[in-house]
Chains A and B, each alone.
Chain A
């Protein structure tokens, strides 16, 4: 099973700042099988990034993904008020598909 570790656990930032979230895998993940999701309280997750760097439909370009092998990054270039949420990475190239524990981005 591929274990995903996300850091930091919580990121406290102000609107307009840049957020950098990390996802590290216990073994190499083909980048085409790495996704990022956003979840707000009381809501279902929303797909942001698939294939490590491709934005899903309707996702603003302030969200970007990068990385390969075991190290992946989600960057939010300028935080908007609606971006404060929990972010999960997921690998879907092997079974079981696994999610990271999440990074909470909250308002400083």
Chain B
């Protein structure tokens, strides 16, 4: 079964840091680009970042650029999101998602995890 499991969410004060993990199973992880998408409470979806299969292509939303870093360890079938200088407005459920076709970052997201919640409180 193809599965993505996020972990690492929690409570943090403004200015703090968290590292989210997304562990994949059921597919050849190192062949697919991966992404993070977040959803603030009661709001819509916001794309955060994407990383290609070999980590050669990385893109960020302007709202997180310079504060968040996406990475992956293909030997561990895991993607990460290092979140620094957190703000109240970063409070959201964070989903990891698999790109539909492996070779490109320019595709839709066909598999999603169940999400991990990040709360930044002052």
Contacts and interface: CB of A to CB of B under 8 A. Distances in A.
Interface stretch (B7-15, B21-29, B66-74, B100-108): B100-108
Contacts of B109: 35, 37, 45, 47
Contacts of A57: 110
Contacts, number: 60
Interface stretch (B42-50, B75-83, B84-92): B42-50
A99 B114 contact: no
B95 interface: yes
B32 interface: no
| Interface magnitude class on chain A | 20 to 34
A97 B50 CA distance: 9
Contacts of B110: 47, 50, 56-57
A37 B95 CA distance: 14
- Interface residue SS majority, chain A: loop
Nearest to A94: B106
A41 B106 CA distance: 27
B54 interface: no
Contacts of B35: 97
Given A45-B95, A95-B59, A96-B62, A88 B44 contact: yes
Interface of B: 35, 37, 44-47, 50, 59-62, 95, 100, 106-110, 112-115
Which 8 A-B pairs have CB atoms at the shortest separation, nearest pair first? A35-B108, A44-B112, A50-B108, A97-B47, A99-B45, A95-B59, A47-B110, A96-B61
Given A35-B109, A56-B108, A96-B61, 14 more contacts: A35-B108, A43-B114, A45-B112, A47-B110, A56-B110, A88-B44, A92-B106, A95-B59, A96-B60, A97-B47, A99-B44, A99-B45, A99-B46, A102-B44
